[in-house]
Amino acid sequence: MKQFSFQINSELKNTKARAGKITTPHGEIQTPAFITVGTAATVKALTPEQVTSVGSQAVLANTYHLYLRPGEKIVKKAGGLHEFMHWSGPMFTDSGGFQVFSLGEAFGKGISKVATGEAMRSSVNERMSQAKKAKISDEGVTFYSHIDGSKHELNPEKSMQIQHSLGADIIFAFDECTSPMAQRDYQEIALDRTHTWAQKSLTEHQKLNAEQSKYQALYGVVQGGQFKDLREHSAETLGAMEFDGFGIGGSFTKDDIATAVNWVTEKLPKEKPRHLLGMGEVIDLFEGIEAGIDTFDCVSPTRIARNGTVYTKNGRVSLTNAKFATQFEPIEEDCQCYTCQNYTSAYVHHLLKAQEMLSATLLSIHNLYFVTHLVDLIRESIENDSFYRLKKDFLSSYYRK
């Protein structure tokens, strides 16, 4: 009754890059693929039809947010996430682990998936209102809701029960996402705990899957911080378990994402899909895919859109800049997205200045189209052996090197 499979169709010579297909009960995902983030069972500012129109094949929602609001019981009563949010394609949910730690335990420590000055500052600011910390033990995590301060517990079994109630096609084992700043001795303790939780997640998941007609696929989450031997140990330990695929979790230092991913993909079973959690900058996409990543998710395209920033072939641009007030051309002349086909930069600049909601919609459409389309191009370049030409041309223009 297994309704999940992964098939590799082409591989790029002398690299780990591959193009293939993930099959789920709600359809196929051509890989590599960018998975659109729909945190609270909605891709912010877009209808599911608009999400489909930009080329998104699948959506990832956050267990932590949906558990707190509206609660998994309500989603289950609605018939599961697909029915509830009117999305008929493949869906992922994360384990809830990252948000529990980033909104709780990491308060004041600046946890982020990537250690950069900017991320550290914004993460500390975001958490200034979080007066109480999450508490971690081998049994699980006690944390306080960022919405109303109420106390909650999350553990591997409960994460699985929530994710089964939500009903996504691909779900993740409960893991401890450590800060990139954490010392080695703490990373070791956290990694042992992540491995114990992985087995507990798997056991509970298999029990729940046997009780339902729909098959949900479970990915184990590789951790280990910036330490090569810990990352390898994690990949080997989880790789030997009966997971359907693997997530690669934070934490990284910004320059080392590709290196750390390579350590892990070297050890993971080749025939199972790999998802890089929460990473999707242009450079990460090229280097992640080259290192054997099949799927990505990242909030950046929609988050920066709401601030008026767009991706272009020449890098990120802020449309709030005064020079756009009279630029009566599309954001990108040759972009085939709905926004560029129908609107000018001057119009979107006006919407941003007037704080009109439509700006978020139009810019999210452009940014999601940009990232999704880029990964489509990378997939084609693996199939027709032009990956390195695309990578060189695209990166030199995007980063103006």
Residue 222 as a binder of Zn ion (CB under 5 A): the answer is no
Residue 361 as a binder of Zn ion (CB under 5 A): the answer is no
CB of 307 to Zn ion, least distance (A): 17
Identity of the residue, 91 or 340, whose beta carbon is nearer to Zn ion in the bound complex: 340
The CA–CA distances, whole Å, from 215 to 147, 155, 205, 233, 241 equal 32, 22, 10, 29, 18
CB of 182 to Zn ion, least distance (A): 40
Cβ neighbour number for residue 17 with a 10 Å cutoff:
23
Rule CB under 5 A: choose which of 366, 367, 374, 398 binds Zn ion: 366
Residue 366 backbone phi and psi in degrees, to 5: -65, -50
Given the residues 94, 169, 175, 244, select the one marked as catalytic: 94
CB of 297 to Zn ion, least distance (A): 21
Residue 337 as a binder of Zn ion (CB under 5 A): the answer is yes
Identity of the residue, 125 or 336, whose beta carbon is nearer to Zn ion in the bound complex: 336
CB of 336 to Zn ion, least distance (A): 7
Q: 355: buried, middle or exposed (CB in 10 Å: 19+, 13-18, 0-12)?
A: exposed
Q: Which amino acid is at 129?
A: S
Residue 340 as a binder of Zn ion (CB under 5 A): the answer is yes
CB of 48 to Zn ion, least distance (A): 19
* Active-site residue, 185 included: no
Residue 70: partners with Cβ closer than 8 Å, 6 or more residues away: none
* Active-site residue, 297 included: yes
How many CA atoms lie less than 13 Å away from 127 in the CB half-sphere? Answer: 24
Q: C-alpha dihedral over 11, 241, 2, 65, to 10 degrees?
A: -90
Buried b / exposed e across 319-354, counting CB within 10 Å, b at 16+?
beeeebeebeebbbeebebbbbeebbbebbbebbee
Identity of the residue, 170 or 337, whose beta carbon is nearer to Zn ion in the bound complex: 337
Identity of the residue, 45 or 335, whose beta carbon is nearer to Zn ion in the bound complex: 335
Handedness of CA 382, 384, 385, 390 (dihedral sign): negative
What residue has token string 């699948």? 58
Which one, of 298, 292, 331, lies nearest residue 313 by Cα? 331
Identity of the residue, 6 or 369, whose beta carbon is nearer to Zn ion in the bound complex: 369
Residues 276-335 that bind Zn ion (CB under 5 A): 335
Specify the 3-state DSSP secondary structure of 314.
coil
Identity of the residue, 293 or 340, whose beta carbon is nearer to Zn ion in the bound complex: 340
Q: What distance, in Å, lies between the first and last C-alpha atoms of the chain?
A: 51
d(CA 163, CA 144) in angstroms, rounded, equals 20
Question: How many residues contact Zn ion, by CB under 5 A?
Answer: 5
CB of 310 to Zn ion, least distance (A): 8
CB of 361 to Zn ion, least distance (A): 13
Please, where are the H alpha helices in 92-220?
A: 97-100, 117-126, 156-166, 184-210
The CA–CA distances, whole Å, from 311 to 225, 308, 378 equal 29, 10, 17
Identity of the residue, 233 or 366, whose beta carbon is nearer to Zn ion in the bound complex: 366
Given the residues 169, 175, 244, 297, select the one marked as catalytic: 297
Chain residues that interact with Zn ion, rule: CB under 5 A = 335, 337, 339-340, 366
Which residues are annotated as catalytic? 94, 297
